[in-house]
Amino acid sequence: MSWFKRDKGDDEKLPKLSDKDRRVRTEGLWQKCEGCRQIIWKKDLEANWNVCTKCGAHSRIDAVTRLKLLFDDGEFTRYDTELRSSDPLGFVDSKPYGKRLLASQEATGLSDAMIAAEGKLGGRAVQICAMEPRFIGGSMGSVVGEMIMRAIERAVEKRQPLLIVSASGGARMQEGAVSLMQMAKISAGLMRLDEAKLPYISILTDPTTGGVTASYAMLGDLNLAEPGALIGFAGPRVIEQTIRQKLPEGFQRSEFLLKHGMLDAVVPRLELKQYIATALTFFAD
């Protein structure tokens, strides 16, 4: 026997809810730390520049956020926003390269995998190029190479230091040899910067791999890295499968590279700006 009876007419008075409205709206408000695996309120994580407040693990950040972190008051002037890849090979894999470019441009609001900017860091005018890992894996193609070369030319002309923040899967295979040519092109440009006696600081973040590591990422007068960043040419799984040996603990992480003399320092993200500002005082104008 039912103790309560529902009037079917009540259902008609209630507002109709869609499946979307029935869900609890918490999606995207929390994020799991990749270090300690704790669930963190996303706004707290973003307020701490994506550094875990519990274990200090560094999550990836986009190029715009990176520039806001480094430039005084988060203010900067962007350059070369009109540059676009011409798709020199008409490359097609699971879909045409042209469509991949358009999809990445719409998703990130950028023309390619880099932002070239000018502003002040610690009161000193600098040129900074920051790579965007969400744009086809932060891969280096002809546009990235040209942006860096133009930044080098501005640095020489204005007598300013150059900083490059690397976050890349390496050279962009969809542009073939054209992307590989950027390695030599940028390396030659950095030699011009050296001849002009202007400092170049390379900042390696997670991940920095492939042709980017094999060229400008490791050519800085000062090579810095964030804690726990994956840095190398081939990935650890590829190396293990090739040499058929187990790699050491922490292999290709920034702390491992620092221990073996391949980096000058591993600097936490929240201390990076002040570290660079201090370092720049040691370079003569």
Q: Are residues 158 and 189 in the same domain?
A: yes
C-alpha 270: how far from chain center? 16
Decide if 114 contacts 150 (C-beta within 8 A): no
The residue range of the domain holding 35 is: 17-59
User: What pLDDT does residue 15 have?
Assistant: 61
Q: d(Cα 141, Cα 176) in Å, to the nearest integer?
A: 9
User: What pLDDT does residue 51 have?
Assistant: 94
User: What pLDDT does residue 53 have?
Assistant: 87
User: What pLDDT does residue 69 have?
Assistant: 97
Give a yes or no: residue 71 inside a domain.
yes
Q: Are residues 127 and 222 in the same domain?
A: yes
Task: List, in sequence order, every beta strand (DSSP E) within the chain.
Answer: 30-32, 39-41, 77-79, 114-121, 124-131, 162-168, 200-208, 222-225, 265-266
User: What pLDDT does residue 226 have?
Assistant: 98
Condensed to tens digits (0 to 9), the pLDDT of residues 153-180 reads 999 999 999 999 999 999 999 999 999 9
Condensed to tens digits (0 to 9), the pLDDT of residues 76-115 reads 999 999 999 989 899 999 999 999 999 999 999 999 999 9
The three-state secondary structure class of 262 is coil
What secondary structure does DSSP assign to 48-103, as a single string?
A: TTTB-TTT--B----HHHHHHHHSGGG--EEE-TT-----TT--BSSSBHHHHHHH
Single out the residue in 6, 41, 59 at which a domain terminates.
59
Q: Are residues 139 and 241 in the same domain?
A: yes
User: What pLDDT does residue 124 have?
Assistant: 97
Q: d(Cα 69, Cα 90) in Å, to the nearest integer?
A: 37
Which segments of the chain have a pLDDT < 70?
1-27, 284-285
Q: Are residues 64 and 53 in the same domain?
A: no
